Chain A
Amino acid sequence: MNKIGLILKREYITRVRNKTFLLSTFLLPIVMILFIFGSAFFAMSNKDNLKKVAVINDPGYFKDNLKSDSLKLQFDFISGVDSSTFKAKGYDAVLNLNNDSSARKFTIHSVKQLGLDTKRKIEDRLDNAYETYQLQKKGIEKKILDSISKQANGAFTIENRLTSTDGKSQEVNAAVNYGVGFGSGILIYITMFIFGAMVMRGVMEEKTNRIAEVMVSSVKPFELMMGKILGIALVGLTQLGLWMILIFTLSSVASALLPHEMVQQAAEANKAVPVGGAANMESATKFLEIQKSFSSVNWPLVLSCFAFYFLGGYLFYASLFAAIGSVINEDPQEAQSLMLPITMPIIFGFIILSSNMNTPDSPVMVWASMIPFTSPIVMMGRIPSGVPWYQLLASMALLVAGFIFTTWLAGKIYRTGILMYGKKASWKEMIKWAFRKA
C-alpha cells in the first residue's frame, strides 16, 4: 500500500508539473471566457456605417412604405441614377425595383459586396413594406395589428410544478435540466477519453522505455497499475476543480468589467429586435428567469453525482486502457485497433444520451444508466430531471462492482503484457492471461 502511495505521488507530480497540463488547465478557461465575452463584445460593437441606397423604378407602393433606418440604412427614391452612376452621386448601392412580377427578384448594384446582414435587412424592409401595402389595401391599419401582436406575444407562460408523494410542489425547468444533464454527460464522456488515454500512454511509456521490468522487481505489477490509475485520477480531479474555480472567478470578473448597458445591448443585439424600452425589460426578466431556474437545480446532488460518476467511470475504463497499453509494442497502429472495443461502448453511451435526452425516463435511458459500460455518461444526463433513488443506488452499486471486476481482469492482462516484447498479443491470448490462475 505504501508503494502505491509512492507511485501515485510520482505519477501525479510529473503530470501536474508538466507544461501541457499547466497550459491546458489555465488556458482553456481563459480561452473559453474570452470567446464568450469576446463574441458578445463584438456583437455589440459591430456598428455598421450608414448605407445609402438609391431606389429606382419604384412600382408605386414602396415609396411610402419602405422605411429608412436612420442608423444603418437610408433609402432615397430618386431618378437619374443607374448602376453606372450611383457611385458618383454618393450612394453605396442602387436598388432596381423594376420587377418582372413573376420572379419577385430585384437587383441591387454595389461596389463592394453587401454583407449577408445588410442584404437580409434590405429584404426584411422590402417584405415589411409589401405587408403594410397589402394591409392598407384590405383596410387594416398596421399600427393596430402591431399593438395587438405585441400584447399577445408572450402574454402567457407555463410553469411546470412537480407534485411529489408528500404533496409538496416544486417548480422544474426542463430546458435547464436538459442543459445541465447533457453538459455533464458530455464532460464525463470527454474526460473519460482524455484520462483513459493518459493511462494508456503512461503504461506504453513504461513498456517502451523498458522500465517496467525494473519496476516489477521492486513492486507488484498490480501496485504499479493502481498507482498510475489513482495518480491520474487525482490529476483529473485537480484539473476539473481548477477549471471550475477559474471559470467561476473569470466569468464573474469579466461580467463585472463589462459595462452594464453593454450587456443589455448585447442581449438586444442577439434578439435582433428594434430598439425600444420594452425589449430591454424583456431581456432583463428573461435573464432573471434563467438565473432563478439555475438555482432550482439540485446542485449538491448534481455535483456529488458528477464526482462519483466521473471517478467511477474513469476507474471502470482506466484499467482496461492500462491493459491495452500493456500489450502494445511501440506501434500506435496497434493501439488503434485494440482500443476500438473499449472506445465503442463509451461512444455508444454518448449516442444514447444525445438521442434520448428528451425522454430521460425511457426504457433505453434507464437501462443504459444501469449498465456500467454506459452508466456514467447516461446517468449524468438523467440526474437533473430526477431519478428514483433505488435506480441511482443500483446504478452506483453496479458501477462499483464493474470497476472492481475490470480492474481485477485488467490487472492479470497487464501483469503478463508489460513483460512481453516484440510480439503483439491477440485477443485470444489476452483472454487466456486474464482467466488463468496465479
Chain B
Amino acid sequence: MNILELKELRKYFANQKAVDGISLQIKQGSIFGLLGPNGAGKTTLLRMITGIFYPDEGEIIFDGKKFDPINDIRYIGYMPEERGLYKKMKIGEQALYLAQLKGLSKADAMHKIKEWFVRFEMQSWWNKKVEDLSKGMQQKLQFVTTVLHEPKLIILDEPFSGLDPVNSNLIKDEIYRLAQNGCTIIFSTHRMEQVEEICDQIVLVNKGHKILDGTVNEVKQQYKENLFEVGVKTDAHHLMTYIFEVVKHQPEKLLLKLQHDSTPNDVLKFFINQDIPINSFTEVLPSLNDIFIKLVEGTPQARQFEKI
C-alpha cells in the first residue's frame, strides 16, 4: 500500500518552475531517498508534502485520501534542512511544547519524551537550555522532536549533517527501527553512500523534473556499463580481442568493458582458452554517485532564472 502518492505536482514561483510535474509513489514502511543537486526543487517538494506550501497544480494522496494539511499534519514529522530550536528554552519544555503542537496531550507527550530521552541517553539534559548544547546534541534533540508524535511519515532533510559517526549510526539504527514498525521515511540528501546503504527506493530530481525512479538495484542495473573486474596476472598487450576492451590495467587486476553483445561467459572462455589462471571475476556496477553525476552533468551548474 502506498502511504503517499504525488500526481503531476507543480509549484511555480515568480521566476522559477521549482517543481514542474513530479509524480511518484512511496510504499508504506519503505525508506525513500529523494536526491538532487542544489536548487533542484527538493525543499519545495517537501514543503508541499508537509503542508507548508500549497501546490499550484496536481494532487497529493496521503494514506489513501486526498491530503488535508490541517488534519494530516499530525501524522507527519518534518526535520527541515535548516534546523531550528528555541535557543533560550529548556530542552524538556521545548520537546513538550513541540509535541503538544502536534496534538499530543501533555501526559502522553511527557511519557514519550521520557522514553526517547532514555533511548538517546539524554535524561540529564532536561533542564539545560538549547544554547548550552553542542551542535550534535541539538541534532539529536531535533530528531527526537521530529519523531516523538509517532508520525506515519517522517521527512528528514539531510539528517546526518553535523553528526559524528557514532551519533550517525545511532540515528541510522533508529531510522531502520522506525521503518520496521511500519513508519515510512523520506530522506533527502546529497550523500550517495548513505542512500546506497539505507534506501529502498530512490528518486532523482533535477530542475523540477523527476529524472530517475526505482530501487537502488534497479537503478544500478539500468545504468550499468558492462564492466567486469577480472583477477589475472597477465600482460594487457596480449589481450587483443573483439570480446572486450581493457579499460584499466592494474598489476593483478583488469577492468574490462564487454563489447559487441558478448557475455561474461565469453570472457571467461577467452581466458580459459588462453590458459590464463583466473583468481576472481566480478561485475562492477556503477555507484549512485557516478549515476548522479552522469545524469546531472551537462545541465548548467546553477539554475538559471527564467520567465514564466
Chain A residues proximal to chain B, CB less than 8 Å: 3, 6-7, 10, 14, 205-206, 209-220, 419, 421, 438
B101 CB contact (under 8 Å) in A206, A212, A218, A438 = A218
Task: Determine how close the nearest CB of chain B comes to the CB of A422; give it in whole angstroms.
Answer: 11
Distance of A421 Cα from B78 Cα, bound (Å): 18
Q: Which of A7, A212, A217 has the most CB of B within 10 A?
A: A217
Distance of A35 Cα from B73 Cα, bound (Å): 55
B54 at the A/B interface (Cβ < 8 Å)? yes
Q: A10-B97, A218-B98 are in contact. Are A213 and B82 (CB under 8 A)?
A: yes
Chain B 192-207 interface mask (CB, 8 Å, partner A; 1/0)? 0000000000000000
Distance of A216 Cα from B50 Cα, bound (Å): 9
Task: Determine how close the nearest CB of chain A comes to the CB of B48; give it in whole angstroms.
Answer: 12
B66 at the A/B interface (Cβ < 8 Å)? no
Distance of A419 Cα from B73 Cα, bound (Å): 18
- What residues of chain B lie closer than 8 Å to A421, measured between beta carbons? 82
Do A217 and B51 touch across chains, with their CB atoms under 8 A apart? yes
Q: A217-B52, A217-B73, A217-B76 are in contact. Are A211 and B101 (CB under 8 A)?
A: no
7 shortest interchain CB distances as A-B pairs: A210-B84, A211-B84, A210-B82, A217-B78, A213-B80, A218-B101, A217-B50
A14 CB contact (under 8 Å) in B51, B54, B83, B89 = B89
- What residues of chain B lie closer than 8 Å to A419, measured between beta carbons? 47, 52
B85 CB contact (under 8 Å) in A3, A211, A218, A219 = A211
Q: A213-B84, A217-B76 are in contact. List 12 more A-B contacts (CB 8 A).
A: A6-B97, A6-B100, A209-B86, A209-B87, A210-B80, A210-B82, A212-B84, A213-B80, A213-B82, A214-B98, A218-B102, A438-B54
Do B97 and A214 touch across chains, with their CB atoms under 8 A apart? no
- What residues of chain B lie closer than 8 Å to A209, measured between beta carbons? 84-87
- What residues of chain B lie closer than 8 Å to A206, measured between beta carbons? 84
- What residues of chain A lie closer than 8 Å to B97, measured between beta carbons? 6, 10
B88 at the A/B interface (Cβ < 8 Å)? yes
Task: Determine how close the nearest CB of chain A comes to the CB of B44; give it in whole angstroms.
Answer: 10
A218 CB contact (under 8 Å) in B73, B82, B88, B142 = B73
Distance of A407 Cα from B243 Cα, bound (Å): 74
Distance of A40 Cα from B89 Cα, bound (Å): 44
Do A216 and B52 touch across chains, with their CB atoms under 8 A apart? yes
- What residues of chain A lie closer than 8 Å to B80, measured between beta carbons? 210, 213-214, 217
- 27 CB contacts below 8 A, A to B, read A6-B100, A6-B101, A7-B101, A14-B86, A14-B88, A205-B86, A205-B87, A209-B86, A209-B87, A210-B80, A210-B83, A211-B85, A211-B86, A213-B78, A213-B84, A214-B78, A214-B79, A214-B85, A214-B142, A215-B101, A216-B52, A217-B50, A217-B80, A218-B73, A218-B102, A419-B47, A438-B54
Task: Determine how close the nearest CB of chain B comes to the CB of A53; give it in whole angstroms.
Answer: 64
Closest to A5 in B: B100
- What residues of chain B lie closer than 8 Å to A219, measured between beta carbons? 101
Distance of A438 Cα from B54 Cα, bound (Å): 8
Task: Determine how close the nearest CB of chain A comes to the CB of B19; give it in whole angstroms.
Answer: 15
- What residues of chain B lie closer than 8 Å to A216, measured between beta carbons? 52
Closest to B99 in A: A218
Distance of A398 Cα from B15 Cα, bound (Å): 39
Distance of A140 Cα from B47 Cα, bound (Å): 96
Distance of A328 Cα from B46 Cα, bound (Å): 24
- What residues of chain A lie closer than 8 Å to B79, measured between beta carbons? 214
Closest to A220 in B: B70
- What residues of chain A lie closer than 8 Å to B78, measured between beta carbons? 213-214, 217
Distance of A216 Cα from B82 Cα, bound (Å): 13
Distance of A323 Cα from B295 Cα, bound (Å): 42
Task: Determine how close the nearest CB of chain B comes to the CB of A224; give it in whole angstroms.
Answer: 9
Q: Which of B86, B102, B142 has the most CB of A within 10 A?
A: B86
Distance of A119 Cα from B132 Cα, bound (Å): 62
Distance of A3 Cα from B73 Cα, bound (Å): 13
Task: Determine how close the nearest CB of chain B comes to the CB of A414; give it in whole angstroms.
Answer: 13
- What residues of chain B lie closer than 8 Å to A214, measured between beta carbons? 78-80, 83-85, 98, 142, 145
Distance of A217 Cα from B154 Cα, bound (Å): 12
Q: Which of B52, B76, B102 has the most CB of A within 10 A?
A: B52
Q: Which of A210, A421, A438 has the most CB of B within 10 A?
A: A210
Distance of A10 Cα from B50 Cα, bound (Å): 24
Distance of A334 Cα from B289 Cα, bound (Å): 41
- What residues of chain B lie closer than 8 Å to A215, measured between beta carbons? 101
B52 CB contact (under 8 Å) in A6, A211, A213 = A213
- What residues of chain B lie closer than 8 Å to A213, measured between beta carbons? 52, 78, 80, 82, 84
Q: Which of B73, B82, B88 has the most CB of A within 10 A?
A: B82
- What residues of chain A lie closer than 8 Å to B70, measured between beta carbons? 220
- What residues of chain B lie closer than 8 Å to A218, measured between beta carbons? 73, 98, 101-102
- What residues of chain B lie closer than 8 Å to A10, measured between beta carbons? 97
- What residues of chain A lie closer than 8 Å to B47, measured between beta carbons? 419
Chain B 48-84 interface mask (CB, 8 Å, partner A; 1/0)? 0011101000000000000000100100101110111
- What residues of chain A lie closer than 8 Å to B145, measured between beta carbons? 214
- What residues of chain A lie closer than 8 Å to B83, measured between beta carbons? 210, 214
Closest to A216 in B: B52
Distance of A217 Cα from B149 Cα, bound (Å): 13
- What residues of chain A lie closer than 8 Å to B76, measured between beta carbons? 217
